[in-house]
Amino acid sequence: MNPYEAYMKEISQPMRDELTNAGFTELTTPEEVDTFISEKKGTSLVVINSVCGCAAGLARPSARESLNNEKRPENLVTVFAGQDREATSRMRDYLEGYEPSSPSMALLKDGQVLHFIPREEIEDYEVEEIVANLTNAYNQYC
């Protein structure tokens, strides 16, 4: 690992921990993404994490807070854009029809996208609005 990669890994670790400590499983390789998509049944929240400010102040807090809803996804996973590039690229392959966006969130059922929240619906929104967007989807699909 070169010094830049080591530095970025160290810097991004708290951003990863914010989701994994809330119960999300990190998918760091394309193979882990493929296995997850092919084997996990039921509803899944996928968070495409990022180092940007809207991920820190809006996406991660909203994803965590949304889990306080009575209905919630059975599976929680995350990939890290800009860090785990191959895993993120593979996950985006499964989000067919949606432009690559980070941060972003997708609610899947049996690997199929039911609801997608792109960066444009995170940036410049309040945490409460994003949580409502997520929990409305949970109430409809979970």
Q: For residue 109, give the 3-state DSSP assignment.
A: strand
pLDDT of residue 50: 94
Q: Could you give all domains of the chain from N- to C-terminal order, each with its CATH number?
A: 22-141 (3.40.30.10)
Those residues whose C-beta lies under 8 Å from the C-beta of residue 69, and which sit 6 or more positions away, are: 134, 135, 138, 139
| Mean pLDDT, contiguous 10-residue spans, the chain (142 residues) | 85 94 98 96 97 93 98 98 95 95 96 96 97 98 97
Read off the pTM. 0.95
Out of 15, 19, 27, 52, the active site residue is 52
- State the amino acid at position 100 in one-letter form: P
Catalytic, 142? Answer no
Catalytic, 52? Answer yes
Those residues whose C-beta lies under 8 Å from the C-beta of residue 34, and which sit 6 or more positions away, are: 90
Examine residue 73 and say whether the peptide bond preceding it is cis (omega within 30 degrees of 0): no
Distance CA 117, CA 135 (A): 12
Out of 8, 51, 54, 114, the active site residue is 54
- Partners of 120 in the beta sheet? none
Those residues whose C-beta lies under 8 Å from the C-beta of residue 142, and which sit 6 or more positions away, are: 43, 71, 72, 73, 74, 107
pLDDT of residue 110: 94
Q: Which of 47, 57, 44, 16 is nearest to 117 (CA)?
A: 47
